[in-house]
Amino acid sequence: MTRALLIGKEPAAELGYDYVTEPPYDAVVIGSLTLSQLLRFREERVLSALAEGKPVYLYTPGLPEAPKNRMLAGSLASAQRELKNWGVLFTDGGRKKLITAGGVASPGASGGGEAAKSRRGADAAGEGNYGGEEMKVGKVVGAIWATRKAACLQGQTFLVVESNGEKIVAADQVGAGTGDKVLLATGTVASKYCMDAPVDAAVVAIVDEKQ
């Protein structure tokens, strides 16, 4: 069995590795992180493994959450996106696919992947086309809190956004709050902002008022 350096607690799910604490190893598995570890990620062994091209996996059920603090939850989501952008592979252990910055990779992949397609401009009304999907402007009118979520939604917060008279539940990626005017990505492309979680709407920007 392939040797993997274990960071944190051992995952409850079987990921197919023999966990070790010393070199040599061929991969790294992050089984758990505390709030401070995720917010200020500085684990040298993980960074070195990424620099050397070794696969690094993060077990998502081991991620911390802040369900009663919207701003902290937004910071946690941002920290997860940074790890993903570095090439860390996210897995809940129950699927064969691993979530990467560019989409979904098979187990044993070295991370990364092709970046998402470039965004097309919005029209004057604030709506446009993003690779065949809609971009919308709306206003945050509330939030949805959930203490229990699917593993693929760990660390994710949700907002209720009103756009063109329709209320939409969207995954918050920018730490928006009630009353903010926001930009929504809708359709299948929204999941790309959320580590390929099964969402079809994501808040991707807070719109500044014209000066």
CA distance 65 to 69: 9
Higher pLDDT: 181 or 188? It is 181
DSSP result, 29-59: EE----HHHHHT---HHHHHHHHTT--EEEE
More confident site: 122 or 88: 88
Q: Is 136 helix (H, G, I), strand (E, B) or coil?
A: strand
pLDDT tens-digit map of 30-54:
999 999 999 999 999 999 999 999 9
Predicted local confidence at residue 148, as pLDDT = 75
CB within 8 A of 116, min separation 6: which ones? 102, 103, 131, 189, 192
Q: Are 201 and 184 in contact (CB under 8 A)?
A: yes
Read off the pTM.
Answer: 0.52
CATH code of the region 128-206: 2.40.50.220
Between 5-9, 89-93, 95-99, 145-149, the lowest mean confidence (pLDDT) is in: 95-99
Task: Please choose, from the candidates 28, 36, 35, the residue with its C-alpha nearest in 3D space to the C-alpha of residue 11.
Answer: 28
Measuring CA to CA, which residue among 142, 139, 155 is closest to residue 194?
155
Domain ranges of the chain: 3-105, 128-206
